[in-house]
Structure 1
Amino acid sequence: MNYRQIETFYWAARLGSFAQAAARLNATQSAISMRIQELEARIGVQLFDRSQRTARLTPQGTLLMSHAEEILLASDRFLHAAAEKEEIVGYVRLGVAEIVALTWLPRLIRFVRENYPRLQLEIEVSLSHLIEEKLYAGTLDVAFAACEMSPSRFVSTPIETIQFAWMCSPDLAAVPEVLTPKRLSELPVFATSREWQFRGSTLTWLTTNDVHFRNVTICNTFRTAASLAIAGLGLAYLPEQLYRAEIETGRLRRLRSDPEPSPLQIYAIRPLNAAAPTHLLLEKAAETILAEPVVGANAVADK
């Protein structure tokens, strides 16, 4: 559950239409529907009566509407309080997963420079299990990664979900169209980590389906894994939003899995007892830029 989903719920309910909410938030109607579905799945409550032509709230949705409004107002108050840019001074050691570095990290850095010029970031791009270790060791202050940290020591706020899929070269004829865990275990794989070092839904999928790679090459970056997959040397587990062009042009083939893996959840992670306002500020900055539409050559589809 994240700010963007709550904001979408609020405006869809207030305007009485998913289409009008899409126009208000500068998003597609399908993106609005997906955000609502993700929020309903996360909280286990149906917010809208789907039998109506308008975006009509269920009784549970009506009860939650006031809470959504409080969250939006609190966010506005936070941004207003942070308007005095020169008061935000600090140095933050920030860990980010590769998927973050390759997608919205440049926008985060631009946002920080424009709004908090006296906030200095030391950024380390690494695998989630290594970021996890450094958070526990105290050598990182904040992180954006798939780590699932102990709630007794850290605050982990979900900020983004990312769909991954197994991919390979179309020329790799031995790979079936539907990939089962047993078949996957037998095929050559390029992975960014060993099985036990994955985190989140990826580790859950591998563990639940008892996947043990027999022919795996560890190459620790998506770019390397993707290039080796494109060369026809094996399979790679890649974020769909980064490799849509390769799929559309036929350089990569997206494989269907049975069962399909769940999207990977990215968290904003900070120590529970961290007193520095810069830690919370970075979390809110990430939520702000993820709620904004992406335009230009590097834009990826809104989820």
Structure 2
Amino acid sequence: MNLRFLETFVWVARLKSFRLTAEKLFTTQASVSSRIAALEADLGVKLLLRDSRGVSLTPEGSRVLEYAERMLDTAQAMKQSLGAERTRVGRVRLGIMDTVIHTWMSALVAELTARYPQVEIELVADTALNLREHLHKGFVDVILQTDLLREECIRSLDLARYPMGWIVASGSALHREYADLAELARERILTFSRNSRPHQDVASLLQAAGAHRLRLNCVNSVSAITRLLRDGFGVAALPPALVASELARGELALLDGLLAPPSLELVASWQTGVELVEEVVGVCRQVLARYAQEAGERRIVLVQGSRA
């Protein structure tokens, strides 16, 4: 239904004149008549009566007027809301762990910049442990990391899971079959920074499989892990989503037949009471949902209820 035609009808009903409506809308009486006729044809009812005394509403026209006014009010509210986003000013400090940087951060920054062109988006890239400390100290407003935080003045939302896998350089000596995780653990294992959730999960998994002398190499940079992998330095416990391009090109390979490490959690945590923060978290959910749809569940799985 054409909102311009509805607007024309509302003004005719209010002013009770096609001439005054034409002046109000900076158009001609012929154009006003044409819009009303098109609206009546669309609805299949007569809306207005014109006689020597002026213009009046039919019973159907009175009912349509109520709906038309509501629809125009809703459209105006929507425009004001969108306009409010674009006139927002200020700064939002966003802390992001490396996993997000190498998957959907660029899309997130592009979306935030488009929605809030006058808001400064300050990015802090760090480990999940450090990001939580930054949030506690008030150095950042929102963080994307691995743990739910249940503390006063901080809210957390469980967003998604990155499935993990054992990844090696294709064609290297490490690219072979392993009887079990205990045998795999005899090789150098690359994982995330020490005492991080992935590091602890990998260590626990390998120890439970009977490996006691672990050769864990903790690296806090996905780029560094990827370079070490390509050079055949070790086996990485890593989400395949982080090296999707290298896997697609055949530079890296995912080992089959072994129990994978627990999935890497993705959690948004933020300081309450900070302007714009709740909106930014909502944008994060929307961008993440689009990324998850494109990447597929082998790369990332949304937590039930986190879909925006």
Query: For the Cα contact (< 8 Å) 1:95–1:142, is it kept in 2?
Result: yes
Q: 1:203 to 1:150 in 2, by over 3 A?
A: farther
TM-score (norm 1): 0.62
Q: How many residue pairs end up in the alignment?
A: 219
> Quick one: distance in 1 between partners of 2:213 and 2:145?
24
- Check whether the contact 2:111–2:283 (CA below 8 A) recurs between aligned residues: yes
Instruction: Name the counterpart of 1:207.
Output: 204
Q: What's the CA shift for 1:156? A: 1.2
Aligned residue in 2 for 1:244: 244
Instruction: Mark the runs of 5 or more structure 1 residues left unpaired by the alignment.
Output: 1-76
Q: CA RMSD in A?
A: 3.1
Aligned counterpart, 2:99: 99
Cα distance in 2 for partners of 1:87, 1:119 equals 9
Contact 2:169/2:251 (8 A) holds in 1: yes
1:229 and 1:198, CA in 2 relative to 1: closer, same or farther beyond 3 A? same
Q: 1:61-210 residue pairs with structure 2 within 5 A?
A: 81=81, 83-173=83-173, 177-178=177-178, 180-194=180-194, 197-199=195-197, 203-207=200-204, 209-210=206-207
Aligned CA distance change for structure 1 residues 265 and 192 (closer, same or farther; 3 Å): closer
Q: Name the residue aligned to 1:275.
A: 273
In structure 1, the residue corresponding to 2:276 is in which secondary structure? helix
Percent identity reads 20
Which of structures 1 and 2 has the bigger CA Rg? 2
CA distance 1:164–1:294, shift in 2 (3 Å): closer
Structure 1 residues 104 and 239, CA gap change in structure 2 (3 angstroms):
same
Name stretches of at least 5 consecutive residues in structure 2 with no aligned partner.
1-76, 301-308
- Residues 89 and 119, structure 2, Cα contact 8 Å, conserved in 1: yes
- When residues 114 and 216 of structure 1 are mapped into structure 2, their CA distance, relative to the original with a 3 A threshold, is same
Contact 2:169 2:252 in 1 (8 A): yes
Given the two structures, how large is their TM-score scaled by the length of structure 2?
0.61
CA deviation digits over 1:94-141, x for unaligned, max 9? 110111112211111111111112221210111111112212222221
- Corresponding residue SS for 1:292: helix
* 1:259 to partner: Cα distance: 3.1
Q: Is the alpha carbon distance of 1:96 and 1:78 closer, same or farther for their aligned partners in structure 2, counting shifts above 3 Å?
A: farther
1:163–1:263 contact (8 Å) kept in structure 2: yes
Q: Would you say the 8 A contact 1:189–1:213 is kept in 2?
A: no
Aligned to 1:261: 261
Partner letter of residue 91 of structure 1?
R
